[in-house]
């Protein structure tokens, strides 16, 4: 993330994400079903609901206990059950700060959180593509039950099976104990990711009974979910269980090195007054105390080298431990283990309007012609390069206001440059293709407290990809109320579903989407009218490369 909002990025991102309103389209759990749907799984029979041509199963356990002596370890074996188990209500999300999940009628967070949700047109033995989604929220918040990523419309409209998991987050999922706790805790710094792998393994074994094809699975995710997808793309244990991937507004190029993870563990022990030899006491610490340390970690690391590492700097997140995650996902190269797996990746054009709201940093949105004030504001982040950056963007955007330049610079710096590194390194690998996009549909909704429109902010793509911007729906908090947004949503969802089905994205109302290459660098710009752009941001990228940012 470079140096943007380093000390409080995580808490403010979570606050803003939780503030998103619950859209009317997703209020499906309160709808009475026409009937129930039953499926036999590897551990017992479950019952979901059948409504409007769709079967929905919520709160399916995919692995066993992770509390007690299983804290920070692999889950206990999942115990089979007798009779029919209801899969109608969401399962508990992972431990996290309060008020961060967005599921309707969702239970309180709990240690034992390994549940998944499935949306399918039918448990009819039809081999549909499986779209396995990783939720956002950095690596610290969120759940697979959030209403904006409800899978109903995506599954129904495009005949796919949608799966979403809950998995360990934050300190519960990424506290690195390998060096002090013995072989039972090997991979402890990646337990949150290994939970997702367990979910993928469950899907591989069971999804055929839900009308899905276990040999055609796409992993995808936005923001922190994009970074999770980056990690899965590089993890040996995940490799047998998916065939393609999409990394969206969350380029997980590098994760936490072992030495930084060790430092974070030492800080945790110090804060709890536990010596390394007494590490087992961690198994008895109340989760509220662990969560309190998690919240303070960015500040505790702020003056140390560790504070500059990771997808969300200073947070508990995947560790490059040489085993579960053998190397950084996309540094120095794309992972060889996924050479032959097609990839999509991209970002939203105005990502930073969301973060301006999240960071309560909206003063620059009021700037019009005062580029001197803009230079002063950007100086802390970009130092001696500030003037050159601003001059480049003014040359390529002669009609842009100072606020427009700020949003363009911070958006590509936060999400775009890492995304381009991923695309370039995937091309350099010479294996399966990579497809690059920019999401550019403009929302007229204003950033709270300003007259500046969100444009295409971070997280707005979620409802569009899930085909949840429905015709006649009420205006969204981020997406606004322009009627054409439903057509854009349908096209975008079709692109993703087509990629899940065939390994190449496409839609009826869009031009053919060429694979990315290092000659004319084509990308798909997704808007009311989609278009393929070549060598987009040529001058800006040349500048970013010259100052060592790309």
Say if CB 404 and CB 369 are below 8 A apart. no
Residues 238 and 359 in one domain: no
Q: Using alpha carbons, list the distances in angstroms from residue 97 to 64, 100, 122, 142, 223.
A: 23, 6, 36, 10, 18
Considering only CA atoms, which of 196, 198, 139 is closest in space to residue 172? 139
pTM for the whole structure: 0.95
In order along its 550 residues, the chain shows pLDDT tens digits of 333 433 344 344 444 444 444 344 444 444 566 799 999 999 999 999 999 899 999 999 999 999 999 999 999 999 999 999 999 999 999 999 998 899 999 999 999 999 999 999 998 889 999 999 999 999 999 999 999 999 999 999 999 999 999 999 999 999 999 999 999 999 999 999 999 999 999 999 999 999 999 999 999 999 999 999 999 999 999 999 999 999 999 999 999 999 999 999 999 999 999 999 999 999 999 999 999 999 999 888 876 654 566 778 789 999 999 999 999 999 999 999 999 999 999 999 999 999 999 999 999 999 999 999 999 999 999 999 999 999 999 999 999 999 999 999 999 999 999 999 999 999 999 999 999 999 999 999 999 999 999 999 999 999 999 999 999 889 999 999 999 999 999 999 999 999 999 999 999 999 999 999 999 999 999 999 999 999 999 999 999 999 999 8
Residue 497 lies in a domain: yes
Record the tokens describing residue 492, joined without a space. Answer: 């975008």
- Helices and strands per DSSP (H, E), number in the chain: 16, 17
Neighbours of 444 (CB within 10 A): 13
Q: Are strands 319-320 and 256-257 parallel, antiparallel or unpaired?
A: parallel
User: How many whole angstroms separate alpha carbon 242 and alpha carbon 199?
Assistant: 11
What Rg value do the Cα atoms of the chain yield, rounded? 22
Structural tokens at position 46: 């479950």
Question: Is 113 a domain residue?
Answer: yes
Tell me the C-alpha distance between 203 and 198, whole Å: 9
Q: Do the beta carbons of residue 489 and residue 509 sit within 8 Å? A: no
3-state secondary structure of 164: strand
Q: Which of 216, 248, 280 is the last residue of a domain?
A: 248
Residue 499 lies in a domain: yes
Instruction: Look up residue 86 and give its two tokens.
Output: 């209801």
Dump the DSSP string for 97-110: STT----TTPPPP-
Residue 111 lies in a domain: yes
Residues 346 and 494 in one domain: yes
* Residues facing residue 534 across a β-bridge: 522
Residue 376 and residue 241 share a domain: no
Per the structure, how many domains does the chain have?
Answer: 2
Domain boundary among 198, 217, 248: 248
Q: How many CB atoms lie within 10 A of CB 30?
A: 7
Range of the domain at 411: 342-546
Q: Do residue 415 and residue 541 come from a single domain?
A: yes
Kind of pairing, strands 434-439 and 343-348? parallel
CATH number of the domain encompassing residue 355? 3.40.50.1820
Question: Is the preceding peptide bond at 332 cis, omega within 30 degrees of 0?
Answer: yes
Which residues are tagged catalytic?
Answer: 223
Closest by CA position to 16, among listed 143, 166, 141, 151 = 141
In a shared domain, residues 16 and 159: yes
232 and 347 part of one domain: no
What the block records as the tokens of 25 is 């389209």
DSSP state of 475: P
Task: Provide CB contacts within 8 A for 427, sequence distance 6+.
Answer: 434, 516, 517, 518
* Residue 281 lies inside a defined structural domain of this protein: no
25 and 148 part of one domain: yes
Structural domain ending residue among the three candidates 207, 230, 248: 248
Is 462 a member of any domain? yes
Residues 117 and 231 in one domain: yes
Contact between 267 and 280 (Cβ < 8 Å): no
486 lies in a domain? yes
Residue 93 covered by a domain: yes
165 and 51 in a single domain? The answer is yes
């Amino acid at each position: 993330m470079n140096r943007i909002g380093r000390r409080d990025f995580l808490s403010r991102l979570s606050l803003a994400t939780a503030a998103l309103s619950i859209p009317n389209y997703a209020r499906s759990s309160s709808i009475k079903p026409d009937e129930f749907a039953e499926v036999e799984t590897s551990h017992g029979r479950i019952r979901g609901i059948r409504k409007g041509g769709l079967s929905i199963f919520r709160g399916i356990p995919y692995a066993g206990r992770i509390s007690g002596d299983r804290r920070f370890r692999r889950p206990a074996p999942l115990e089979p059950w007798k009779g029919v188990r209801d899969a109608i209500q969401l399962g508990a999300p992972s431990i996290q700060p309060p008020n961060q999940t967005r599921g309707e009628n969702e239970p309180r967070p709990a240690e034992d959180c390994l549940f998944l949700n499935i949306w399918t047109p039918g448990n009819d033995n039809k081999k549909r593509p499986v779209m396995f989604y990783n939720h956002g929220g950095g690596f610290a918040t969120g759940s697979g039950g959030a209403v904006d990523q409800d899978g109903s419309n995506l599954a129904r409209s495009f005949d796919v099976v949608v799966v979403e998991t809950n998995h360990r987050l934050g300190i519960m999922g990424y506290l690195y104990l390998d060096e002090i706790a013995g072989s039972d805790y090997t991979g402890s710094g990646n337990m949150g990711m290994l939970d997702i792998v367990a979910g993928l393994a469950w899907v591989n074994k069971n999804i055929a009974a839900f009308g899905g094809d276990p040999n055609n699975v796409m992993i995808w995710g936005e923001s922190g979910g994009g970074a999770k997808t980056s990690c899965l793309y590089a993890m040996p244990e995940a490799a047998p269980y998916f065939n393609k991937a999409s990394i969206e507004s969350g380029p997980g190029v590098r994760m936490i090195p072992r030495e930084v993870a060790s430092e974070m563990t030492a800080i945790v022990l110090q804060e709890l007054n536990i010596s390394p030899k007494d590490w087992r006491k961690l198994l008895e610490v109340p989760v509220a105390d662990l969560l309190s340390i998690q919240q303070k970690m960015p500040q505790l690391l702020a003056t140390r080298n560790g504070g500059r590492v990771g997808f969300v700097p200073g947070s508990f997140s995947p560790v490059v431990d040489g085993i579960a995650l053998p190397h950084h996902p996309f540094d120095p190269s794309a992972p060889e283990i996924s050479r032959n797996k097609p990839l999509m990746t991209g970002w939203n054009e105005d990502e930073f309007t969301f973060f301006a709201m999240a960071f309560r940093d909206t003063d620059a949105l009021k700037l019009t012609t005062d580029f001197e004030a803009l230079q002063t504001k950007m100086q802390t982040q970009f130092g001696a390069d500030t003037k050159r950056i601003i001059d480049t963007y003014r040359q390529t955007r002669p009609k842009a206001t100072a606020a427009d330049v700020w949003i363009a610079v911070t958006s590509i710096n936060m999400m775009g440059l890492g995304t381009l590194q991923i695309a370039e390194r995937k091309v350099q690998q010479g294996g399966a293709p990579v497809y690059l996009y920019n999401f550019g549909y403009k929302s007229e909704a204003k950033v709270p407290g300003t007259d500046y429109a969100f444009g295409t902010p971070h997280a707005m793509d979620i409802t569009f990809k899930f085909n949840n911007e429905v015709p006649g729906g009420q205006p969204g908090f981020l997406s606004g109320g322009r009627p054409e947004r439903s057509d854009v949503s349908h096209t975008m969802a079709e692109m993703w579903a087509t990629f899940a089905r065939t390994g190449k994205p496409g839609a009826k109302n869009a031009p053919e989407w060429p694979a990315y290459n290092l000659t004319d660098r084509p990308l798909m710009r997704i808007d009311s009218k989609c278009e393929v752009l070549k060598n987009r941001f040529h001058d800006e990228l040349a500048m970013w490369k010259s100052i060592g940012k790309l």
